[in-house]
Amino acid sequence: MSARTLPLLFLNLGGEMLYILDQRLRAQSIPGEKARKDEWTDVDRKRVMNDIITTMFNKKFMEELFKPQELYSKKALRTVYDRLAHASIMRLNQASMDKLYDLMTMAFKYQVLLCPRPKDILLVTFNHLDTIKDFICDSPGILNQVDETFRQLIETYSCLSAGEFQLIRQTLLIFFQDMHIRVSIFLKDKVQNSNGRFVLPISGPVPWGTEVPGLIRVFNHNGDEVKRTEFTTDGNYVTPQREGSFDLYGDRVLKLGTNMYSVSRPVETHMSGSSKNLASHAKENTVPNPLAKEEMDFLARLLGGLEVKTPGGSETGFRLNLFTTDEEEEHAALTRPEELSYKVINIEATQEPGRRAELSRILGELEVAEPRPASSGKGEDLLALMDGL
Amino acid sequence: PGSPAPRPVPGCPLAPPGRKTPTPGRILPAPLPRPSPRRGGRRPGLHGNAGPAPGAARRPLRHHAATPSPWLQRTPSERGRSGDGGGPGRAGWGHGGACPVSRRMYRKEKSIQLKSSSAALYNNLSVLRLPGRQLACFSAVHGPSVNVVSAATDGLGFSHRQLQAKEGGMAVSTSVLTQAAWCVLPSRVLLVLTSQKGIQMYESDGSIMVYWHALDVTEHPPGQAVFARGIAAAGGHFICVGTSSGLVLVFDIPPKGTNITVSEILEQHRDAITDIAAEQGQAPDGAGDLVTADDAGALCVWSTGEEFTLLSKIPAFGCTCSSVKLWNGVVAAGYGNGQIRLYEAATGLLRAEVNAHARWIYALDLAPETGKLLSGAEDSFVHVWKLSRNPDTDNVEIEHCHGECVTDTQVCGARFCDPEGNSFAVTGYDLNEIFRYGRV
């Protein structure tokens, strides 16, 4: 519905992805001097985070993203994150990638649902960007890119009305409808029920600009207040203390969108959700949508056109596992319910001439002036990577 | 049980089809109010009525001997009193209506299961009563489709249907529905769906599409969302539908057949239309019989006819008005900051303000025989209120009757299931069912 939803969806999901990857990389990292050639070090972790963030905040990509457009399909978006996660030396198996995507989407769904005001989705986005800036605080070049995106967000969204933000929120909620994957950290914190549905509190501060429910005021025909009455409900609300900041820097007040993972709070998922609902939703996604695929191909090309580090030597050493053991990962891949599989679209290297011409024209207009490695094997690696998705 | 058969009320969407609307000037009687128990701690200022209803002085007043009009309700305790009617009653008069608050007024009844979940859209529940056929129909938008359920009133037997949003001419992208609502006209009932592409009108059971109107994309600035939203039957043979550019399309509906035409386009709103409501009771002189609401919170009051006339504008105050109702010349509006506001339709004057919900209101409904108001919001609560008019002060009164917390649900649709408000239905985002509640 709203044509301004995609940047918020992309940036927030991207932020959650970075939180999870950062936590898993820290959990699996080994001190530099003790590490073998195939083990993660802190240096590797920083490099992966830098590479992914650089790719995510690429200037041309952001320009495309911010153009008014409809949301991509779930499959198309999933494929973009697949590419993003592989923008560095890190590799993820299908099962780990599935789990990563489940966690990202359920986390952002929770944040959208619990936002006090629709406009607060912007604060959630700022929370993600603030933390991303912490990840790359040592790299001024990338920091600049992120700040640029920050400014673009402020420019695009500060003038939107509450009604337009609610439309954005409704568009996001339609995107997340029927997703009830249980996330261990949410279950433990009692923000999600065992049936996968989120707990909606009926206490706490009311949104900024809303009054605590209870008062009825009656006015006469002169406009004077002539009567006040009160009513009570089961809710237990209080007035909020202050509003979060919508500036480049500031106290956001809202905690939604901040990093809830740490090494002591590991990342786990239960594969579940009543299959009936998900089956009906999965059915809708299997209808091929040529327009979305075209857009997605275009995006993937943009991402694919950037410098990608290819792993040298043995591949397995640079693989990140979202599960605690390899066996667990294998088991998850085998037992993933059919209706929850994302059916990632394969990006075809060869396309129909007509479409290819159109995309080449667009790509030509947005030629990225980044140096490409001279090695002739590079192009083949890229295509192989794209085909392998 | 025991309540009289529903009487037709002008513009009431729950009126049984085929009945003519009554001639103006007759104030319709309401069923006997249930006696409210005397109790201590009476709320200050709420008092019973004695004397004629507003506007009644201008019209002949006719009453049923046994059932007083909604304006003249008295509790048994007041019947013996001599009139002490002046001013805001601090003298401890009883309630004008029958809303006992010391015990719960409604209880949960059996739910209706849906084939798919409900979407987070404003006013996302519509109810059609067919008392002659012992049926009630419910519809809730899922996204690209809408669930339509027919439920037998004996509680056994449901039939489900899903209608899809019609694609545009190019059929490349999927469309999302924004609303579905039954429009009850004296001659026929149509089921109207609004989407990102246009407006679909079906026979009431959803079996045949009788009309399709495509939205003109060029009317909208590039990059802006395009959709239709806001549906109401009005003026006897019109259906009004709003658009995201603020236009209200008025369709002229013939008694049967598919020859539906656009009669007029109303251009007073500058923001996307959120809801439209027709007068469900008896409009006092000059009060208008249609109200339209938009995303900025502005309201317009119209008088319908071959040419619609704008009567008054109620300015926005910074909050979206997501849902609106019109009853006996009173506009009830639900806002994004959780407030319900009551305005005089004829003048646009604010008469009451309720801090009703802790979050965005998504749905309002009104029971025309009793003046009960239903509100549902993202805060998980559904509240039942009672509207009345104090005949001495002419103040519009609203009191709280019942609050229901729909656990862990952001309510997006709420409707009364009968014209007295003895039962209501609720649905919420991601919910695969419609919850029902009935008077205890």
SS3 track for B70-122: HHHCCCHHHHCCCCCCCCCECCCCCCCCCCCCCCCCEEEEEEEECCCCECCCC
Closest CA to B281 of B366, B399, B359, B352: B366
Which pLDDT belongs to residue A299? 61
Domain assignment present for A258: yes
Largest CA distance in chain A: 84
Residues of A in contact with B229 (CB under 8 A): none
| Identity at A128, one-letter amino acid code | H
Q: Any CB–CB contact under 8 A between A240 and chain B?
A: no
> Average pLDDT for residues A246-252, to the nearest whole number?
89
Q: Do B350 and A223 touch (CB under 8 A)?
A: yes
Phi, psi at A381, each rounded to 5°: -60, -40
> Average pLDDT for residues A169-183, to the nearest whole number?
95
Distance CA A15, CA B73 (A): 60
Distance CA B200, CA B192 (A): 6
Number of structural domains in chain B? 1
Number of alpha carbons in the 13 Å side-chain half-sphere of residue A173 = 27
CB A174 within 8 A of CB A1: yes
Domain assignment present for A225: no
Window 327-346 of B, Cβ < 8 Å to A: 336-339, 344
Which pLDDT belongs to residue A264? 63
Q: Any CB–CB contact under 8 A between B43 and chain A?
A: yes
> Average pLDDT for residues A259-270, to the nearest whole number?
67
Distance CA A285, CA A281 (A): 7
Closest CA to A90 of A76, A78, A100, A102: A100
CB B71 within 8 A of CB B50: no
Q: Do B176 and A164 touch (CB under 8 A)?
A: no
Q: Do B43 and A229 touch (CB under 8 A)?
A: yes
Domain assignment present for B310: yes
Domain assignment present for A159: yes
Q: What is the CATH number of the domain that holds B393?
A: 2.130.10.10
Confidence of residue A265 (pLDDT cuts 50, 70, 90): low
| Identity at B378, one-letter amino acid code | E
CB A88 within 8 A of CB A48: yes
Q: Do A163 and B116 touch (CB under 8 A)?
A: no
Contacts of B99 (CB under 8 A, 6+ apart): B36, B105, B386, B399, B400, B401, B402
| Identity at B360, one-letter amino acid code | W
Contacts of A191 (CB under 8 A, 6+ apart): A110, A198, A199
Between the CA of residue B281 and those of B12, B21, B99, what are the distances in Å?
Answer: 7, 11, 21
Q: Do A162 and B336 touch (CB under 8 A)?
A: yes
Residues of B in contact with A1 (CB under 8 A): 176, 178, 196, 225, 227
Domain assignment present for B301: yes
Task: State how far residue B397 is from chain A, nearest Cα, in angstroms.
Answer: 7
pLDDT over threshold 70, residue A124: yes
Please name the residue ranges forming H helices in A136-270. Answer: 140-157, 162-176, 184-188
Q: Could you give the angle at which helices A120-135 and A6-28 cross, rounded to 10 degrees?
A: 40
Domain assignment present for B179: no
Domain assignment present for A379: no
Q: Which residue of A has its CA nearest to B274?
A: A163
Q: Is the pLDDT higher at A34 or at A241?
A: A241
CB B425 within 8 A of CB B415: yes
Q: Do A207 and B358 touch (CB under 8 A)?
A: yes
Best mutation target among A157, A160, A231 (most B Cβ atoms within 10 Å) is A231
Q: Which residue has the tokens 């339209």?
A: B292
Distance CA A141, CA A145 (A): 7
Residues of A in contact with B410 (CB under 8 A): 113, 200
Task: Kindly state the tokens that stand for B14.
Answer: 């729950």
CB B112 within 8 A of CB B138: yes
Residues of A in contact with B381 (CB under 8 A): 202, 213, 233, 235
Distance CA A163, CA B319 (A): 8
Domain assignment present for B430: yes
Mean pLDDT by 10 residues, chain B (440 residues): 43 38 39 41 36 38 37 35 37 41 81 95 96 91 95 85 80 79 96 95 94 86 89 96 96 95 96 97 89 97 94 95 97 97 94 97 97 97 95 92 96 96 97 95
Mean pLDDT computed over every residue of chain A: 77
Q: Any CB–CB contact under 8 A between A156 and chain B?
A: no
Number of structural domains in chain A? 1
Which pLDDT belongs to residue B8? 41
Distance CA A46, CA B91 (A): 74
Domain assignment present for B24: no
Distance CA A329, CA A97 (A): 10
Element (H, E) at A228: strand A225-230
Domain assignment present for A148: yes
Residue A37 carries which DSSP code?
Answer: T
Task: Kindly state the tokens that stand for B287.
Answer: 């009060």
Chain centroid, CA A78 distance in Å: 10
Which pLDDT belongs to residue B330? 96
Domain assignment present for B428: yes
Question: Distance from first CA to last CA of chain B, Å, rounded?
Answer: 12
Q: Is the pLDDT higher at B88 or at A300?
A: A300
Phi, psi at A276, each rounded to 5°: -60, -50
Closest CA to A180 of A106, A104, A75: A106
Q: Do A237 and B358 touch (CB under 8 A)?
A: yes
Distance CA B387, CA B277 (A): 17
What domain range is A331 assigned to?
3-200+245-262+296-302+317-338
Strand-pairing partners, residue B439, are B106
Which pLDDT belongs to residue A294? 56
Q: Do B338 and A197 touch (CB under 8 A)?
A: no
Q: Any CB–CB contact under 8 A between A371 and chain B?
A: no
- Could you say which of B119, B271, B379 has the minimum Cβ distance to residue A177? B119
Task: State how far residue A359 is from chain B, nearest Cα, in angstroms.
Answer: 18
| Identity at B230, one-letter amino acid code | G
Q: Could you give the angle at which helices A94-114 and A162-176 cross, rounded to 10 degrees?
A: 140
Q: Could you give the angle at which helices A42-56 and A120-135 cross, rounded to 10 degrees?
A: 140
Pairing of strands A236-238, A203-205: parallel
| Identity at B398, one-letter amino acid code | I
CB A113 within 8 A of CB A200: yes
Window 167-226 of A, Cβ < 8 Å to B: 167, 169-170, 173-174, 177-178, 180, 193, 197-200, 202, 206-207, 209-221, 223, 226
Q: Do A219 and B395 touch (CB under 8 A)?
A: yes
CB A185 within 8 A of CB A104: no
Q: Which of A31-40, A191-200, B77-86 has the lowest mean pLDDT?
A: B77-86
Q: Do A210 and B358 touch (CB under 8 A)?
A: yes
pLDDT over threshold 60, residue A153: yes
Which pLDDT belongs to residue A304? 55
pLDDT over threshold 70, residue A240: yes
CB A296 within 8 A of CB A348: no
What domain range is B298 assigned to?
226-439
